Structure 1
Amino acid sequence: MSNTVKVQPDLKFVKELQAVGGDSLKKCYQCATCSVVCPLSPADSPYPRKEMVWAQWGLKDRLVNDIDIWLCHNCGTCSNLCPRGAKPGDLLSALRNMAYRNLAPLPIIGKLMSSSSGMLPLAAIPAIIYGIIWVIMAGVTGSAFPTFEFDHATHAWKAVEDGVIAFGGLFPGDYTIDPIFGAVFLFMLWGFYAGVRNMLKAFDAQPKTFIVGRKDEPCFISCLIDTVKYEILQHTQFNDCNDEDADELDAKRAGGHKMLMYAFICLMIVTGVVATGHWGGWFLRKIGVEGLGNIVSAIGHTPMPLWSPVKLLAYVGAGLGIYGLMALTKRRVNLDQAKQSSSWYDWYLLTLIWTIFLTGVGALVFRVLGVAVLAYPVYYVHLIGVFMLLAYLPWSKLGHLVYRTVALSYAKKIGRIPMGADK
């Protein structure tokens, strides 16, 4: 005699899911086409068919703790071939959007991140902070658009007439840029630490996959290294999403993601050189190594000459970033909305990164041209964009850089997906 299983759907969860992009899930009639055509779904308990069932039944606990929502790379093949237009790819994307809101602490940030109306208070925080700094420095220098000369004796910018535009003069790095962004970076790390801890705790309750003939279970670190080597640096999962029928936009999707990733790596190196040069030089002078300290400070001194190797790397990063953004934006704009949709999270992230890159390039151009009335406001917007990117990263779609990496590594550890070299 079979046992009776009582299903208690969470109707509030279903409505929330529909609100963040899973509004077509009720069209699904369980034909399993989505699981069959997915190029990444494992043969054992494949996705996204089971997720469609759980979503229709309102099984929140099953879905929010499901590791498979992170294995999907949203190529859209399942949605394109769904005979009912149920958009299973959008469902998995919507589940990840819900995860961004709830994995990290301070869910109020996640709630604000979920709609355009919530952006105003989030953007207001850095806008007010740097607006106050601008007003104070305008009072100190006597102008809202001052020019400066560098005082080598004090290693600081000094406001003068007919000087040069120096963002570090209006927004002193020692007192405004570095301390604030240092605190923001630590806040971001705390958010990711708590979010990843919650994610792994949920995964521990998932059933494990046992592979016949498999050797000892690899350690998490080795799986993490494997994920970085294959899925991140080589984008193997994105490449596997494409087949012989993939159109040009889909084929360039992996390239767009990869170029944008390399752009951020380049710009991170540039930022690291500037910070290390500045603070390293300061430390060496403090301990009495004056000559070496001055040399190190000169390496990180900004604004750098346009021909500086570090500056050239920044140009490369900007070029790669804009190319990647163009490819991703073009694909997003040309999506067939009847088969695959774009959510607020998609457009927020693209808009924010576009803002950061364009204001970064714009601030450089206006500084070189000597147009202070445009250079400083553009740089001010750039600071706001960078602040928002870092501070709210654990609650935004870009958080998948960490969450998906952890999920892929954990999936390899338990045997849900193979190691990169075994594919």
Structure 2
Amino acid sequence: MSNTVKVQPDLKFVKELQAVGGDSLKKCYQCATCSVVCPLSPADSPYPRKEMVWAQWGLKDRLVNDIDIWLCHNCGTCSDMCPRGAKPGDLLSALRNMAYRNLAPLPIIGKLMSSSSGMLPLAAVPAIIYAIIWVIMAGKTGSFLPTFEWDHAAHAWKAVQDGAIVFGGLFPGDYTIDPIFMLVFLFMLWGFYAGVRNMLKAFDSQPKTFIVGRKDEPCFCSCLIDTLKYEILQHTQFNDCNDEESDELDVKRAGGHKMLMFGFVALMVVTGVVASGHWGGWLMRTIGLESLGNILGAIGHTPMPIYSPVKLLAFVGAGLGIYGLIALTKRRVNLDQSKQSSNWYDWYLLTLIWTIFLTGLGAFVFRTLGVALLAYPIYYVHLIGVFMLLAYLPWSKLGHLVYRTVALSYAKKIGRIPMGADK
């Protein structure tokens, strides 16, 4: 005699899932083509077929705790081959979008991040903060578009007529840029800490996979290092998504992601050098090491000349980032919407990163040309963009940098996927 299993679908969850990109899941008739053609799906309990069933049944608990939604790299092969146009790849993407909204604390931020209508209050936070700073500094310098010269005695910028355009003069790093972004960075870390903790707690219910010939279960740290080495630095999962039938845009997708990542790394190094030089110089001078302080201060002194190695690294980072953005945007624009769709999360992230890179370059160009009327407003928009990227990172699609890395590492630990060297 068979046992009866009572299924209680969460209809509200199904509607929310459809709203964030899973609107075609009802077309699925369980042929399993998606799981067969997926180049990444494990042979044991493959995805995304089971996720399509769970979503149709409204099994929220199964889906929100499912590690497999993070193993998918959204190559779109399953959606391309689906005979019913059910877009299983979009379903997994929609599930990740729901995770961004709910993993981290303060779900109100996740809710605002999920639609264009929520952008105004989110953007208003940094816009108001830096508008107030701009007004205060305009009153202090006597102009909304001031120019400056360096006061060597005070180690600070002094407003003068016919001086240079200096963003650090209008938005002093010591009092506005560095303290605010340090708080933003700590807020971001707190959001990711809570989000990763909730993720790992949900993964505790995952069945452990037995791999024949496997020795002792590796520690999480070794799995994390393996993930950083293979999936992050080498983008092996993105490369595995491609085959001989992949078109040029899909092949370039892995390269686009990698170049954008290296672009961000280069710009992070530049930011670190500038901050370390500036604050290291201040510390050395404070404790009486004037000469060493001046050397460190010169390393972090901005604006830097174009021939500075740090400035050249910034140009390299900007170039890599824009190359990656072009590749990713071109692929996104040319997607066959009948097979794979783009949602708000996709376009928000691309638009925000484009804004940051273009305003960064635009601010540099107009500062160099001496056009204060354009340089300062563009830099103001740049500050807003960087603030939004960092502050809301745990609730945005870019949060997958952390969440997917943790999920891949955990999947290796339990044997769901092999270690990079074992593939």
For normalisation by structure 2, the TM-score amounts to 1.00
Residue 377 of structure 2: aligned partner: 377
Q: Secondary structure at the match of 1:293?
A: helix
Confirm or deny that 1:101 pairs with 2:95.
no
Give, in whole Å, the separation in 1 of the partners of 2:216 and 2:154. Answer: 60
Cα distance in 1, alignment partners of residues 363 and 88 from structure 2: 42
4+ aligned runs moved over 6 Å, structure 1:
none
Report the residue type matching 1:179 in the other structure. P
Match of 1:351 in 2: 351
Map 1:22-421 to 2 at 5 A. Answer: 22-421=22-421
- Secondary structure at 2:130 match in 1: helix
What number of residue pairs does the alignment pair up?
Answer: 423
- 2:370 partner letter: G
Helix, strand or coil at the partner of 2:148? strand
Residue ranges of structure 2 left out of the alignment (5+ in a row)? none
Offset, 1:210? 1.2
Deviation digits for residues 142-185 of structure 1 (CA, Å, limit 9, x no counterpart): 00000000111111000000000000000000000000000000
Match of residue 9 from structure 1: 9
TM-aligned CA deviation for residue 2 of structure 1? 1.1
- SS of the residue aligned with 1:2? coil
Instruction: Give the Cα–Cα distance (whole angstroms) in 1 for the partners of residues 250 and 282 of structure 2.
Output: 49
2: distance between equivalents of 1:19 and 1:368? 46
Query: Quick one: distance in 2 between partners of 1:260 and 1:210?
Result: 37
The letter for the 2-side match of 1:348 is Y
Whole-Å separation in 1 of the counterparts to 2:111 and 2:225: 33
Q: Which amino acid aligns with 1:415?
A: G
SS in structure 1 at match of 2:143: coil
1:21 counterpart SS class: helix
Q: What are the superposed Cα offsets for residues 202-252 of structure 1, whole Å, 9 maximum, x if unpaired?
A: 001111111122100000000000000000000000000000000000000
CA RMSD of aligned residues (A): 0.3
Q: Which runs of 5+ in 1 are unaligned?
A: none
Structure 1 distance, partners of 2:205, 2:278, is 47
Matched to 1:351, the amino acid is T
Percent identical: 90
